[in-house]
Structure formats: structure tokens, C-alpha cells
Amino acid sequence: MEDMEWAGGVPALLNRLQKFLKESITCTGKSIKEIAKEGEVWDEEVIREVNNPVRKEGGIAVLWGSLAPEGAVVKQTAVSPSMRKFRGRAKIFNGEKEALEALFKKKIKEGDIIVIRYEGPKGGPGMPEMLSPTSLVVGMGLSEGVALLTDGRFSGGTRGPCIGHISPEAAEAGPIGLLEEGDPIFIDIEKRKLEVEVPPEELKRRKKYWKKPPLKIKEGYLRRYSELVSSASKGAVLRKE
């Protein structure tokens, strides 16, 4: 962010994006196109021409597959090349606290895929950020042999092979809620794949016996939110009905 400021800041960035902007007024009293026209780029390596990007793809990627029929999100630029394709075994945790305890007790080993579920919009409730476990994975030197999956949320601070926003979430009987300890999981960021390598018939059988856990918040606004909120894939907004 500091580099960008010294390179000309937001006006300079808008200058590069002029042809993509839609005219609208801003809080400065000037229109966004006026600000873009006034912007000046002082460092071509930081704020590049549109046809000369740092990378051909954006910072995030959306993955799909049997574990994320409605999609999942990964910050692909923060994943090392060796972990962009990874196969491991599920280590199941029904909440962030359980996963943190396992990490602190050094119960996670190379080849594991940490699964933190029931932290989505309904299950959280509110889709809390999983920054603590992802930071621990990197800080403990596990990010070259351990991945993390969750129906919870990530921010821009996340690093390593961490895939979040998995939809449908566990609290809606999504596939992440049907996983069992040791299930084989395959991640392929290049091909945008997130698969649980369990036969579809077995997942159907598990779903038949799946039981929705009780709401974590039993009164007030958060209870209503838990009951009415939509999937993360639809914006985690309140449904009209």
C-alpha cells in the first residue's frame, strides 16, 4: 500500500483504469473520471499498464467440485507453486476453537487437510474470519505440507493453501458437513477444482443420516439471521421470505 501511495496512489490507479470507469460523483465533489484524469503514475513497475500486469490472473480464484458445488475461494497468489495441486486426508473440526487446540497441541502433520466447518453464514453465525488458524499454519511452518478448508471467511491477510467460503456450508448439509475423518481430498488451483474423493453414493448415504446441529445463538437478531441468511455463494444476505 505504501508503494502504491508513492507511485501516485488511488488517482494514479484510476488513471490506468479510465476506460473501464462509469461516470459517478464521489465524496470529494469531483466525478470519478475527473479524479482519474488528474491522476499521474510515478512508478510504472508498481502501477502498471493494463496490458502489462504483474500476473495474468487476479489474486483470487474460485474453485468448484464435489466438495464445493456452489464454489469456494482461495487467495491463489499467496499459495506456493508446490501446493497449488495437493492431495491429503481430512482432519475434521466442528469449529475454529477445536482446530486451534489441535494446532497448539501439534496434532496436525504433513499431508493433513484441516477442515473447519459450521463457521459459515448460518453456522457461525455470521461467517467469522479464520485468520488465527491460517496464521498458525503458516507460522508453524506447515504451509508447504498442510492445507486448510472452511465454510468460514478469509480476509486479505491470509497466506498459504487456505480455501474458504465453501458453499453450501455445513449447516445447510453441504458436502463439507458430510466429510468424515480421513476422507481423501484433492485440490487443483490451476484447474479450479476442489474434490472429495468419496463416491457420490456414499455422500448421499451420509446426507440421509446427517442431523442439523442446534443453533449456537438461540435468541435475538443473530437467531433470526441464522434462520434467514442465504449461502455465501449468494452473498450471505437475508432472504426476503
pLDDT band for 3, please (50, 70, 90 cuts).
very high
Report angle CA 8, 14, 16 to the nearest 5 degrees. 85
Is residue 240 predicted with pLDDT exceeding 80?
no
Question: Please, how many CA atoms are within 13 Å of residue 178, restricted to the half-sphere of its CB?
Answer: 25
Residue 155 is among the residues annotated as catalytic for this protein: yes
Strands (E), the chain: 61-65, 68-74, 85-93, 112-116, 147-150, 162-164, 184-188, 193-196
What is the chain's mean pLDDT, rounded?
Answer: 93
Percent of the chain with pLDDT over 70: 99
Each residue's pLDDT tens digit, 115-131: 999 999 999 999 999 98
Q: What is the pLDDT of residue 55?
A: 83
- Any idea where the domains of the chain sit in the sequence? 1-54, 61-198
Q: What is the pLDDT of residue 105?
A: 94
Q: What is the pLDDT of residue 241?
A: 58
Percent of the chain with pLDDT over 90: 79
d(CA 214, CA 68): 23
Average pLDDT of the residues in 149-158: 87
**Residue of 57 and 178 predicted with greater confidence:** 178
| Phi, psi (degrees; rounded to nearest 5) at 216 | -70, -35
Q: What is the pLDDT of residue 84?
A: 94
Chain Cα centroid distance, residue 77 = 13
Please pick, among 80, 143, 155, 231, the residue that the annotation labels catalytic. Answer: 155
pLDDT band for 238, please (50, 70, 90 cuts).
confident
For 61-198, which CATH class? alpha beta
